[in-house]
């Protein structure tokens, strides 16, 4: 019986522990794209490993007790009060574990949230039901002036450079969530919060495999990438039913793909210059989500982050058209609530 129980615990313990240390391979988390995210994932892995070990040990003891002390003819139940030593161990071990988690979490929090990076790109984020609005300071590097650049639903950032987001809300509490960077910040009306991250790779879509690929800046510059001329679409997986689960590689029930849009002008870039060749990739994006239930259309409150090399990022900023509606929205909401902040950078 003891050998069987030992074998049972090992069968549970070893796969669970391996799963805890390799959450990415298990498909639980999206690929991490920043050093900040890797540090958060490492802490998550440590905590998950501790939880898995404790779970397997306690469940193993439970299974052993259920089998070894089951009701049997001729065996009379015996009552005993317990053991002071065992109780001290059961109280002391969780206390040490919680203290360890507290210390390592506080150190990580200090590294990631207390020291604002220098020479960073500054972007204001104004959330509302159910949309994301972004504002860049423009050439004068000052918010709240006529040369500000404003966008709705999409922002662009340079690769390998820190980006600081200043967030506030127009109406209810939202949550600014960047899953691939492991960044999340509550967005509260009347309150100015800040968070930062750095994207180390550029997301593109491989036209041959119809899957997202993450490229370094060097690989991105050496590959023909379509910046426009393609439409992102989706369709149900052939033969799949809506109630069937699927692995992360298939992205759920729908299959996503890019196809050529004849009505849009095709622009392919390589080595920072337009080229007249068939693209291998299409410029893709990272997702912005709202992680706070903010109303009936909360599920649709999504935005995108375009990660670009520095020259393309500067060109993107210059190409953004003036939008009087967005300008009035920022003037009425943000500038009225945070008037002293705009010129503080």
Which of residues 254 and 257 earns the better pLDDT score?
257
Reported for 149-153, long-range contacts at CB under 8 A and 24+ positions apart, including other chains, are 149/317, 149/320, 150/320, 150/323, 150/326, 150/327, 150/330, 151/320, 151/326, 152/323, 152/326, 153/303, 153/304
Tally of domains within the chain = 2
Which of residues 121 and 245 earns the better pLDDT score?
121
285 and 177 share one domain = yes
pLDDT one-digit tens code per residue, 106-118: 888 888 888 778 8
**Residue range of the domain that includes 9:** 2-69+81-113
48 and 180 share one domain = no
For residue 250, pLDDT beyond 50? no
> Which backbone phi and psi does 320 adopt, to 5 degrees?
-70, 130
Q: What is the pLDDT of residue 16?
A: 58
Minimum mean pLDDT among 14-23, 207-216, 266-275: which range? 14-23
Decide: 282 and 230 in contact? Cβ < 8 Å: yes
> Which backbone phi and psi does 77 adopt, to 5 degrees?
-65, 140
127 and 98 share one domain = no
61 in a structural domain: yes
244 in a structural domain: no
Mean pLDDT of the chain: 83
Q: What is the pLDDT of residue 112?
A: 81
148 in a structural domain: yes
87 and 194 share one domain = no
247 in a structural domain: no
In the structure, what pLDDT confidence band is assigned to residue 18 with cuts at 50, 70 and 90?
low
pLDDT one-digit tens code per residue, 78-111: 777 778 888 898 889 889 999 999 999 988 888 8
For residue 139, pLDDT beyond 80? yes
Decide: 148 and 190 in contact? Cβ < 8 Å: no
Which of residues 40 and 3 earns the better pLDDT score?
40
Q: Across residues 38-58, what is the average pLDDT? A: 87
Which of residues 297 and 77 earns the better pLDDT score?
297
Q: What is the pLDDT of residue 284?
A: 93
Closest C-alpha among 140, 105, 97, 143 to residue 122: 143
158 and 17 share one domain = no
Domain C-terminal end among 113, 137, 171: 113
10 and 109 share one domain = yes
235 in a structural domain: no
For residue 249, pLDDT beyond 60? no
For residue 238, pLDDT beyond 60? yes
Q: What is the pLDDT of residue 73?
A: 84
51 in a structural domain: yes
> Which backbone phi and psi does 2 adopt, to 5 degrees?
-65, -40
101 in a structural domain: yes
170 and 109 share one domain = no
343 and 282 share one domain = yes
Distances (CA, A) of 68 to 5, 12, 64, 75, 84: 10, 19, 6, 12, 23
What separation, in Å, do the N-terminal and C-terminal C-alpha atoms of the chain show?
70
179 and 275 share one domain = yes
Domain of 344, CATH number, reads: 2.60.40.420
In the structure, what pLDDT confidence band is assigned to residue 134 with cuts at 50, 70 and 90?
very high
- Percent of the chain, pLDDT > 90? 30
161 and 310 share one domain = yes
DSSP assignment, residue 337? H
89 and 58 share one domain = yes
pLDDT one-digit tens code per residue, 150-209: 999 899 999 999 999 999 998 899 999 999 998 899 999 888 888 999 999 999 999 998
Closest C-alpha among 288, 46, 60 to residue 156: 288
208 and 143 share one domain = yes
Q: What is the pLDDT of residue 26?
A: 47
Q: Across residues 231-255, what is the average pLDDT? A: 62
Q: What is the pLDDT of residue 27?
A: 55
Which of residues 284 and 83 earns the better pLDDT score?
284
Q: Across residues 15-20, what is the average pLDDT? A: 56
In the structure, what pLDDT confidence band is assigned to residue 289 with cuts at 50, 70 and 90?
very high
For residue 342, pLDDT beyond 70? no
290 in a structural domain: yes
Q: What is the pLDDT of residue 102?
A: 92
Minimum mean pLDDT among 148-157, 192-201, 239-248, 307-316: which range? 239-248
């Amino acid at each position: 019986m003891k050998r069987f129980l030992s074998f049972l615990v090992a069968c549970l313990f070893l796969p669970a522990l391996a799963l805890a240390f390799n959450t990415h391979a298990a498909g639980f988390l999206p690929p991490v794209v920043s050093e900040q995210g890797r540090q958060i994932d490492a802490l998550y892995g440590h905590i998950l490993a501790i939880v898995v070990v404790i779970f397997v040990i306690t469940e193993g003891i439970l299974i052993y007790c259920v089998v070894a002390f089951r009701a049997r003819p001729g065996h009379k139940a015996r009552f005993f009060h317990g053991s002071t030593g065992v109780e001290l161990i059961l109280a002391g071990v969780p206390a040490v574990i919680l203290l360890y988690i507290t210390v390592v979490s506080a150190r990580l929090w200090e590294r990631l949230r207390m020291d604002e990076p220098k020479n960073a790109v500054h972007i204001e984020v104004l959330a509302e039901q159910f949309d994301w609005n972004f504002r860049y300071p423009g050439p004068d590097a000052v918010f709240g002036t006529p040369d500000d650049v404003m966008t709705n639903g999409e922002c662009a950032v340079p690769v390998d450079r820190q980006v600081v987001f200043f967030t506030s809300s127009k109406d209810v509490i939202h949550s600014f969530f960047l899953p691939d960077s492991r960044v999340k910040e509550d967005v509260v009306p009347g309150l100015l919060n800040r968070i930062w991250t750095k994207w180390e790779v550029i997301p593109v879509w491989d036209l041959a495999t119809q899957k997202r690929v993450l490229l370094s800046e060097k690989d991105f510059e050496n590959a023909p990438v379509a910046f426009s001329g393609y439409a992102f679409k989706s369709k149900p997986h052939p033969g799949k039913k809506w109630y069937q689960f699927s692995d992360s590689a298939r992205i759920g029930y729908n299959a996503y793909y890019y196809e050529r849009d004849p009505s849009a002008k095709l622009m392919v870039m390589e080595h920072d210059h337009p080229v007249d060749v068939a693209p291998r990739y299409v410029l893709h994006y990272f997702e912005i989500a709202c992680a706070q239930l903010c109303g009936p259309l909360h599920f649709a409150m999504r935005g995108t982050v375009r990660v670009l090399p520095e020259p393309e990022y500067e060109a993107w900023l210059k190409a953004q058209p003036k939008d009087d509606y967005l300008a009035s929205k920022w003037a009425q909401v943000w500038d009225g609530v945070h008037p002293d902040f705009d010129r503080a950078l």
